[in-house]
């Protein structure tokens, strides 16, 4: 099988929110709605979408979120892309 390069494009990795200011102590949750996967020789062109992954076609996608607990200054999540015999698997989880 031909090796394919897979590339994740998260539409908004770095977003500035222009909403009502929150106190530093408030808890927050940032939900990732979908992940766009590109595959092939030249994934940099982003011309053809290989697959869009979201909660309607992937079980457990609700774990693709970043929770910022009360009083904390930052939080992160990990998105893992694995090659499998059937294609690929995407997993999300908090650090």
Q: Which residue is it, tokens 């590109």?
A: 38
* pLDDT value of position 14: 42
Assess contact for 86 and 55: CB atoms under 8 A.
no
* pLDDT value of position 86: 86
* pLDDT value of position 24: 61
Task: Provide DSSP, 1-68.
Answer: ----EEEEE-TTSS----S----TTS-EEEE--EEEEEEES-GGG--S--EEEETTTSTTGGG-EEEE
DSSP one-letter code for 72: -
* pLDDT value of position 57: 84
Instruction: Flag whether the pTM goes above 0.75.
Output: no
Assess contact for 38 and 46: CB atoms under 8 A.
yes
* pLDDT value of position 42: 67
Per-residue pLDDT of the chain (95 residues; tens, 9 = 90+): 333 333 333 333 344 454 455 556 788 888 888 888 888 876 777 778 888 888 888 877 877 888 889 888 888 888 888 888 988 888 887 55
């Amino acid at each position: 099988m031909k090796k394919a390069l897979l590339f994740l494009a998260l539409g908004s990795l770095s977003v500035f929110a222009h909403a009502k200011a929150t106190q530093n102590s408030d808890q927050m949750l940032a939900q990732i709605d979908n992940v766009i996967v590109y595959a092939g020789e030249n994934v940099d062109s982003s011309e053809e979408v290989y697959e869009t992954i979201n909660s309607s076609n992937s079980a457990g996608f609700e774990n693709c979120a970043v929770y910022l607990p009360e009083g904390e200054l930052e939080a992160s999540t990990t998105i893992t892309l694995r090659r499998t015999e059937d294609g690929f698997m995407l997993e999300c989880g908090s650090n």
